[in-house]
Amino acid sequence: MEWEESDTILSFILFPSNFNRSRSLIFNIFLHLEFLAKLVLWALGDRKLPA
């Protein structure tokens, strides 16, 4: 499973001023939901730690 998305999420959290203010919150929510969904799918899957 790929985990590069976490860097993007961190960039939104740490540097929100780099993005359009009216859209950054929407992107923030979407990225968090996507990341949480991957964690849930991983937890419901084979429960092996990501390589």
Domain boundaries along the sequence of the chain: 5-44
How far is it, in rounded angstroms, from Cα 47 to Cα 51? 12
Q: What is the pLDDT of residue 12?
A: 60
Nearest 5°: phi and psi at 4?
Answer: -65, -20
Indicate if the alpha-carbon torsion angle 20, 22, 7, 18 is positive or negative: positive
Q: Is the pTM of this model over 0.85?
A: no
Q: What region, left, alpha or beta, does residue 3 occupy, with left being phi > 0 and alpha being psi -120 to 50 degrees?
A: alpha
pLDDT in tens, 13-48: 666 565 555 567 777 788 888 888 888 888 888 666
